[in-house]
């Protein structure tokens, strides 16, 4: 019997990456819900939807992810990233569905100096991270069977992201300045979707109860400056990039200076290897190039 998987936030980078891999999983019946079908900003819609549909797994990709806007849109960020997750967890628990919830490296303060393990104390430095942490805690306290997957610096060939912004700016300008004192690891959304599918497969074969937290990003470490340099190098763009410090590029939201995530728990649980960030970047850039030809 095909397992039924609901993917929320279907028009976002990760949601669209799940659509891309749908053909690879003939044993899965996917349902993709965007804001038109399931608006997490509207109280009650989550429970109403789940009361009229049946699923085996729900992958919650929906979130208020505009980090700077979350400083002003505090009520909206709290509704989508926290209160809607409370509703989702309760509805999922009542139906006995397994929940996979996507969270963020921004639950940490960035003051650590080695990869963050799942049990490291959380201490968000911005409202986005705080609301996402509220969502995590709501799931943990609900008693639902779930996995929380924290990730970082997500990009893809879809939507708006750092990679596509750099490609545009690199072709428009001769020089750019990019922050080099914020360190982490990029995550190709297609790899993250594959990782979540591996967790679903593992849960189906070896059911676990309670709430488990996993970290997933691509392997390796870089700064935003390193990331931009790699984008231009791999794309063959001639643009000079100069490093600057965070203080020279003020934003409404504070960013953690260090947010590298340890993937050891995920790799041990699934037995999968994690692609190196630069290798996955090359794959994404090729897909963007191919899409431009169509």
Active site residues: 128
Give the strand pairing for 146-151 and 211-215: parallel
Would you state the structure tokens that stand for residue 11, as one six-digit string? Answer: 């028009």
Maximum distance among all alpha carbons in the chain?
57
Would you list the DSSP string of the chain? -PEEEEEESTTSHHHHHHHHHGGG-TTEEEEEE-TTT--TTSTTHHHHHHHS---SEEEE------TTHHHH-HHHHHIIIIIHHHHHHHHHHHHT-EEEEEEEGGGS-S--SSPBPTTSPP--SSHHHHHHHHHHHHHHHHT--EEEEEE-SEE-SSSS-HHHHHHHHHHH-SEEEEE-S-EE--EEHHHHHHHHHHHHHHHHHS---SEEEEE---BS-EEHHHHHHHHHHHHT---EEEEE-GGGS--SS---SB--B--HHHHHHH-----BHHHHHHHHHHHHHHHHH-
Would you state the structure tokens that stand for residue 63, as one six-digit string? Answer: 């979130």
What size, in residues, is the chain? 294
């Amino acid at each position: 019997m095909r397992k039924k998987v609901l993917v929320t936030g279907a028009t976002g980078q990760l949601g669209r990456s799940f659509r891309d891999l749908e053909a690879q999983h003939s044993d899965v019946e996917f349902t993709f819900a965007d804001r038109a079908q399931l608006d997490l900003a509207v109280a009650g819609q989550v429970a109403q939807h789940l009361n009229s549909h049946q699923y085996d797994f729900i992958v919650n990709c929906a979130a208020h992810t505009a980090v700077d806007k979350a400083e002003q849109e505090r009520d909206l960020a709290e509704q989508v990233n926290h209160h809607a997750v409370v509703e989702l967890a309760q509805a999922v628990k009542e139906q006995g569905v397994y929940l996979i919830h996507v969270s963020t490296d921004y639950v940490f303060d960035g003051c650590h100096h080695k990869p963050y393990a799942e049990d490291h104390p959380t201490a968000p430095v911005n409202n986005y991270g705080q609301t996402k942490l509220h969502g995590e805690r709501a799931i943990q306290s609900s008693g639902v069977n779930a996995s929380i997957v924290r990730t970082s610096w997500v990009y893809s060939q879809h939507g708006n992201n750092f990679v596509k912004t750099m490609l545009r700016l690199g072709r428009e300008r001769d020089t750019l300045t990019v922050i080099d004192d914020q360190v982490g690891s990029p995550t190709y959304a297609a790899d993250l979707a594959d990782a979540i599918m591996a967790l679903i497969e593992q849960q189906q074969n070896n059911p676990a109860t309670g709430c488990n937290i996993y970290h997933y990003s691509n392997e390796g470490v870089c700064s935003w400056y390193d990331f931009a340099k790699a984008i231009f190098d791999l794309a063959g763009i001639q643009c000079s990039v100069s490093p600057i410090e965070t203080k020279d590029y003020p934003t409404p939201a504070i960013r953690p200076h260090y947010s590298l995530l340890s993937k050891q728990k995920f790799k041990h649980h699934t037995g999968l290897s994690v692609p190196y960030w630069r290798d996955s970047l090359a794959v994404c850039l090729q897909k963007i190039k191919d899409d431009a030809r169509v």
